[in-house]
């Protein structure tokens, strides 16, 4: 879908080709967004860009990117940039180009497909995405904070990262990440908002503000399935799932949708919490997903005197890890800045990368990305000749 016509100024088009749509991460030329690029005799570049949707929240960003790229071209003294909006047909074309046709993937791949929709891409054995299911036995242990900061830490290591906020009873990821803007909808394809290099989709975007939503079982499963199929994730390296607290049948659905999922259990250090967390590990086992590691949160508080106070006891994370025969990936301190950052949409990993907590998140991200990388399966039929 390259809408570059012959009347376009080739130098301008070349200069604008590297300009990417900030949400779709593709060249605006390849996306068919560049509609006119002419250079007037007076040195004015006349540019027309078609936005994907009316009221595009990133219009200013696109304007800045296009203007500064056009200004670089020899002979351009001024840029006259205008916007139009794609038609429904053009949006449909764009969606097909980026996301394929639902009918073409429904129900006939190894992936979990269903009659009327598209197959879940992450269930495909060829998918490069590692789904990381972040779970905890009960609420309030910091599961969402860990999901958010771990996602940012993975992005800082250069990985492409998405987060699915499946914690329908306490969807907090948009607030913690600072992605309050709802997804852009292009012909029923949801383009997730992005911040700190992390894309995010949440039940929170679809719940009326201030109203508690009662999610009935089937609705919940449908919503979750749509988060995996109708969202333009663009094959991220990691897809983190903030699981609802407790055990429950969401885990069962997710294990079907994400058969290659890896479970990471967040716990606090006291033995009672560890018992509850062990239940979520038992659930993972029941649905055949491997627990890959334990993350201990709120392990200690460092006082003004420099001493570490173990407010919630000690050793719970290590004990659980030993019981399950998996590594304790890290221990996170209790720090007010972590909570403040979460409340303000400024994750500590992003805004204070040298802090003790941020460093711990970075180490965990590295361990997950490198040491816990799934091993390539040995195929006995392959022989080296």
Binding site for ligand ATP (CB under 6 A): 136, 139-145, 167, 170, 172, 245, 297-298, 332, 334-335, 338-339, 342
State both tokens at 215.
Answer: 């999610």
Residues 6+ apart with CB under 8 A from 56: 62, 85, 184
Least Å from the CB of residue 139 to ligand ATP? 3
Least Å from the CB of residue 147 to ligand ATP? 8
State which residue, 121 or 245, has the beta carbon closest to ligand ATP: 245
State which residue, 261 or 269, has the beta carbon closest to ligand ATP: 269
Closest CA to 172 of 296, 297, 341, 354: 341
Binding site for ATP, residues?
Answer: 137-144
State which residue, 298 or 368, has the beta carbon closest to ligand ATP: 298
Least Å from the CB of residue 298 to ligand ATP? 5
Binding site, residues?
Answer: 137-144
Least Å from the CB of residue 115 to ligand ATP? 34
Cβ-based burial of 209 (10 A; exposed 0-12, middle 13-18, buried ≥19): exposed
Let me know: does 184 contact 200? Beta carbons within 8 Å: no
Residues 6+ apart with CB under 8 A from 212: none
State which residue, 136 or 160, has the beta carbon closest to ligand ATP: 136
Supply the DSSP symbol for 170.
S
State both tokens at 152.
Answer: 């940012």
Distance separating alpha carbons of residues 11 and 28, to the nearest angstrom:
15
Least Å from the CB of residue 160 to ligand ATP? 23
Distance separating alpha carbons of residues 32 and 336, to the nearest angstrom:
47
Cβ-based burial of 125 (10 A; exposed 0-12, middle 13-18, buried ≥19): exposed
Least Å from the CB of residue 33 to ligand ATP? 38
**Cα end-to-end span (Å), the chain:** 44
State which residue, 123 or 164, has the beta carbon closest to ligand ATP: 164
- What SS3 class is residue 293? strand
State which residue, 66 or 335, has the beta carbon closest to ligand ATP: 335
Residue with tokens 């994400």: 258
State both tokens at 37.
Answer: 């690029």
Rounded alpha-carbon distances, angstroms, from residue 112 to 22, 116, 126, 223: 31, 12, 13, 15
State which residue, 191 or 266, has the beta carbon closest to ligand ATP: 266
Least Å from the CB of residue 182 to ligand ATP? 20
């Amino acid at each position: 879908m390259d809408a570059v016509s012959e009347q376009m100024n080739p130098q301008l088009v070349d200069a604008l080709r590297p300009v990417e749509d900030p949400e779709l991460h593709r060249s605006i030329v390849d996306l068919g967004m560049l509609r006119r690029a002419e250079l007037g005799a007076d040195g004015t570049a006349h540019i027309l860009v078609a936005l994907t949707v009316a009221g595009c929240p990133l219009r200013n960003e696109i304007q800045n990117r296009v203007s500064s790229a056009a200004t670089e071209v020899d002979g351009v003294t001024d840029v006259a940039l205008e916007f139009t909006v794609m038609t429904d047909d053009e949006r449909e074309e764009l969606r097909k180009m980026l996301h394929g046709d639902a009918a073409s993937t429904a129900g006939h791949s190894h992936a979990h497909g269903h009659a009327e929709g598209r197959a879940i891409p992450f269930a495909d054995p060829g998918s490069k995405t590692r789904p990381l299911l972040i779970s905890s036995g009960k609420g309030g242990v910091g599961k969402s904070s860990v999901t958010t900061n771990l996602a940012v830490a993975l992005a800082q290591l250069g990985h492409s990262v998405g987060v699915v906020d499946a914690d329908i009873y306490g969807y907090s990821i948009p607030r913690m990440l600072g992605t309050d803007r709802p997804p852009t909808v292009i012909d029923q394809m949801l383009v997730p908002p992005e911040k700190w290099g992390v894309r995010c989709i949440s039940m929170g975007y679809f719940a009326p503000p201030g109203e508690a939503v009662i999610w009935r079982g089937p609705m919940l499963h449908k919503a979750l399935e749509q988060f995996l199929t109708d969202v333009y994730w663009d094959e991220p390296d990691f897809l983190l799932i903030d699981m609802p607290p407790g055990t429950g049948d969401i885990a069962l659905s997710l294990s079907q949708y994400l058969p290659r999922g890896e479970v990471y259990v967040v716990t606090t250090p006291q033995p009672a919490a560890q018992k509850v967390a062990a239940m979520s590990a038992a659930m993972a086992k029941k649905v055949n997903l491997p627990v890959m590691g334990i993350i201990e949160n709120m392990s200690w508080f460092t006082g003004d005197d420099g001493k570490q106070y173990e407010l919630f006891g000690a050793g719970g994370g290590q004990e659980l890890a030993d019981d399950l025969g998996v590594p304790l990936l890290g221990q996170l301190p209790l720090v007010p800045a972590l909570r403040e950052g979460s409340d303000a949409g400024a994750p500590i990993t992003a805004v204070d990368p040298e802090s003790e907590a941020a460093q711990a998140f970075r180490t965990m991200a590295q361990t997950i990305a490198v040491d816990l990388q799934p091993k390539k399966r040995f195929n006995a039929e392959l022989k080296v000749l």
